[in-house]
Amino acid sequence: METLQAVDASDTQPSCCSAQDELVVGDEQAQRLAKVFKALGDPTRVKLLSLISASADAEMCVCDLTEPVGLSQPTVSHHMKQLVEAGLVTREQRGRWAYYSPVTSVLTEATRSLTA
Amino acid sequence: METLQAVDASDTQPSCCSAQDELVVGDEQAQRLAKVFKALGDPTRVKLLSLISASADAEMCVCDLTEPVGLSQPTVSHHMKQLVEAGLVTREQRGRWAYYSPVTSVLTEATRSLTA
């Protein structure tokens, strides 16, 4: 009887891993997250996002980003394009200059997906 | 006199940006953060870290990582090496197998540096 009871008990255990599987990112989400992280896989782009995030107005003109990173405006614009495409910043053209604002939720959500 | 007063007033304004500058990451930190994010700039590595972070034991054998990502063990080990070098996981050899554990603080701290 004891053996039978033990078998019964094991039958009532939850089926393997269903809750765990839900925490694992799927293929499509992995692609999306990798794009976000890849955009920050470069020290210049890390610094550019840092500058914009730390700016008092929560936005920065491309004209103010060149000097801190010591690069030409076309090069800075090229880096900024990758941050825009990853969703990490938004870009607004105002007259002659482009202005960038951080979208902090994109990085925090991406990180949360991997550390929950 | 009015003109002179205006000049005096501007002299008493705080000097530009000192608090803001402290929030901006320096060159060395930017290098370090970029390394962390670059390691996750690949969908397979995103999925591997996700699997390890979601594991019930907070560690996973390399032998259990191959099937979910559909890659050979040498390829998985190659990807895992990059996660280890970025500090995102630790590796422990036990007998025949390597076991990996997540170091979630590395990613959360890196993200915090850019979203403060």
Q: Which residue has the higher pLDDT, B14 or A22?
A: A22
Q: What are the strands, taking DSSP E only, across chain A?
A: 60-61, 89-94, 97-102
Q: For chain A, percent helix, then strand, then coil, each to nearest 5? A: 65, 10, 25
Question: What pLDDT is attached to residue A12?
Answer: 43
Facing residue for B33 by CB, picked from A34, A46, A68? A46
Question: What pLDDT is attached to residue B13?
Answer: 44
Do A45 and A85 touch, CB atoms closer than 8 A?
A: no
Exposure string (b/e) for B43-63, b if CB count within 10 Å is 16 or more?
A: bbbbbbbbbbbbbeeeebebe
Residue A66 contacts B, CB cutoff 8 Å = no
pLDDT at A22 over 90: no
What's the one-letter identity of residue A87?
G
Widest pairwise Cα distance in chain B: 85
Query: What CATH code is assigned to A27-115?
Result: 1.10.10.10
Tens-place pLDDT, residues A38-97? 999 999 999 999 999 999 888 999 999 999 999 999 999 999 999 999 999 999 999 999
**Which of B36, B37, B107, B112 is the best substitution to test chain A (most A C-beta atoms within 10 A)?**
B37
Tens-place pLDDT, residues B62-80? 999 999 999 999 999 999 9
Facing residue for B107 by CB, picked from A21, A24, A111? A111
Sequence-distant (≥ 6) Cβ neighbours of residue A50 within 8 angstroms: B23, B24, B25, B30, B113, B114
The H-or-E segment that residue B32 falls in is helix B27-39
Question: What pLDDT is attached to residue A20?
Answer: 61
Nearest CA to B65 out of B77, B56, B57 is that of B77
Mean pLDDT of B51-59: 92
- Fold (topology level) of B29-115: Arc Repressor Mutant, subunit A (1.10.10)
In DSSP terms, B89 is beta-bridged to B102
Task: Mark yes or no for CB contact B47/A40 under 8 Å.
Answer: no
